[in-house]
Structure 1
Amino acid sequence: MSDLPDGVTRRDVEGRERLCTRGRPVYGEPTDGDWRVWDASRSKLGAMLELGMETGLTGGESVLYLGAANGTTVSHVADFAGPTYAVEFAARPVRDLLEAAEPRSNLFPLLKDARKPATYAHVVEANLDVVVQDVATRGQASVANRNARFLAEDGRLLLAVKARSEDVAERPEEVFDEVRSELEERYEILAESRLDRFHTDHLGIVARPR
Structure 2
Amino acid sequence: MSLPGGVERRQFDGGDEALSTRGEPAYGEPVVDGWRRWDARRSKLGATLELGLHTGLSAGDAVLYLGAANGTTVSHVADFAGPTYAVEFAPRPVRDLVEVAEARDNLVPLLKDARQPETYAHVVESGLDAIVQDVATRGQADVALANRKFLADDGRLVAAIKARSEDVTEAPEDVFERVLDQLREGYEVLATERMEPFHEDHLAVVATPK
With the shorter chain as reference, the TM-score category is over 0.9
Whole-Å Cα distance in 1 between the matches of residues 57 and 143 of structure 2? 21
Whole-Å Cα distance in 2 between the matches of residues 18 and 139 of structure 1? 32
- Answering whether residue 7 of structure 2 is matched by residue 12 of structure 1, we say no
Amino acid aligned to 1:203: L
Query: 1:12-161 residue pairs with structure 2 within 5 A?
Result: 12-14=11-13, 15-161=15-161
Deviation at 1:6, TM superposition (A): 1.0
Deviation at 1:196, TM superposition (A): 1.3
Amino acid aligned to 1:82: G
Whole-Å Cα distance in 2 between the matches of residues 8 and 22 of structure 1? 8
Whole-Å Cα distance in 1 between the matches of residues 58 and 98 of structure 2? 26
Whole-Å Cα distance in 2 between the matches of residues 93 and 43 of structure 1? 15
Whole-Å Cα distance in 2 between the matches of residues 18 and 36 of structure 1? 9
Which 4+ runs in 1 deviate beyond 3 A? none
Deviation at 1:27, TM superposition (A): 1.0
Whole-Å Cα distance in 2 between the matches of residues 16 and 52 of structure 1? 18
Structure 2 stretches lacking a partner, 5+ long: none
Structure 1 stretches lacking a partner, 5+ long: none
Query: 1:131-210 residue pairs with structure 2 within 5 A?
Result: 131-210=131-210
Whole-Å Cα distance in 2 between the matches of residues 67 and 134 of structure 1? 5
Count of aligned residue pairs for this structure pair:
209
Whole-Å Cα distance in 2 between the matches of residues 143 and 57 of structure 1? 20
Whole-Å Cα distance in 2 between the matches of residues 97 and 30 of structure 1? 19
Amino acid aligned to 1:72: T
Whole-Å Cα distance in 2 between the matches of residues 130 and 121 of structure 1? 15
Whole-Å Cα distance in 2 between the matches of residues 199 and 109 of structure 1? 25
Give TM-score, length-normalised by structure 2. 0.99
Whole-Å Cα distance in 2 between the matches of residues 107 and 57 of structure 1? 16
**SS of match in other structure, 1:177:** helix
**SS of match in other structure, 1:96:** helix
Give TM-score, length-normalised by structure 1. 0.99
Amino acid aligned to 1:195: M
Deviation at 1:57, TM superposition (A): 1.2
Whole-Å Cα distance in 2 between the matches of residues 200 and 17 of structure 1? 22
Q: Deviation string for 1:61-113 (max 9, x for gaps)?
A: 00000000000000000000000000000000000000000010000000000
Deviation at 1:130, TM superposition (A): 0.1
**SS of match in other structure, 1:40:** coil
Percent identity of the aligned residues? Answer: 68
**SS of match in other structure, 1:141:** helix
Whole-Å Cα distance in 2 between the matches of residues 5 and 161 of structure 1? 21
Whole-Å Cα distance in 2 between the matches of residues 103 and 94 of structure 1? 15
**SS of match in other structure, 1:41:** coil
Amino acid aligned to 2:43: S
